[in-house]
Amino acid sequence: MTVMAAAEGWSFEVGDSDFEAEVLERSRQTPVVVDFWAPWCGPCRALGPILETLATEFAGGFLLAKVNVDEAPDSAGRYQVRSIPAVAGFRDGEVVCEFVGAQPESAVRQFLAELIPSPADERVTDGDARLAEGDLDAAETCYQEALELDAKHALAQLGRVRVAHARGQIQEAQQALEQIRTNSAEVEKKIDHLAAQLRTANDTGENEADLRDTLTRDPGDLDARLALGRHLAARDQHEDALSELLEVVKRDSDRDGDAARKTMLDIFELLGNESDVARHYRQQLARALYR
């Protein structure tokens, strides 16, 4: 790795062999801007000094990794670089923003504003850490402080919903979640996931033993079977819940079956695309619906 004096240590060259360590791993601590360039590229020579000047100005607020695409074709291919200069901002090992072509300094500054955590972002990060530790009061304080800095901060709003969920305030959490507005696809995914958690956490309140006794006497009681599936889902007994809910769909594709199908979709969201259980029941659900 060669440190470039122009950026006073904040800029360095990266190749295929050290991209993982110098970009992905380091971005888990500090945002990393990757400049995909080549010596023969005129626009690259125009953009490079702007990036290096800003790296010096920000003094460690971000790191600048210079990737010569001629010498690092695997890294360029991995991130589908087809035109240079191409610039990608990495945080937590993932690309969070990018642009292609030489840009004026004002546009690069806007790009950096999207990449580098703001004071409100930092308070949200602190809140997430407190929430993971189970300190709900401290987490709520962090999220509130973030919202005082940025009243529309979607992740801070989402954090407060997660605190309400952890406290068992399901209806309040659902109402607050519906008020969050965002243009970020990443935040939308988090909202969808939490919405599924809240819906499945909304237990029927019925006794499991009573529901099973009812089904023993009358296996065709779809209301009881739907209630049992929801009850199991609320207790994270996902596979058992899916089994009961699938049976409802098979027996009634209309009212009860539609409610069961929606709960199954929520469980699939919670389990994720890599889950073998989710894959199996997705296939079973499709067969039941389109038989």
**Catalytic residue annotation:** 41, 44
Enumerate residues 6+ apart whose C-beta is below 8 A from 218: 224
DSSP lists the bridge partners of residue 77 as none
Neighbours of 124 (CB within 10 A): 27
- Nearest Cα neighbor of 230 from 254, 251, 194, 256 is 256
Q: How do 94-100 and 11-13 pair as beta strands?
A: unpaired
Q: How crowded is residue 102: how many other Cβ atoms within 10 Å of its Cβ?
A: 19
Compute CA distances 262 → 3, 196, 229, 255, whole Å: 55, 10, 12, 11
C-alpha 246/C-alpha 262 separation (Å) is 11
Cβ atoms of 253 and 286 closer than 8 Å: no
Sign of CA dihedral 169, 172, 177, 181: negative
Q: Look-up: residue for tokens 């010498």?
A: 71
Q: By C-alpha distance, which of 172, 167, 140, 179 is closest to 156? A: 140
Residues 6+ apart with CB under 8 A from 240: 232
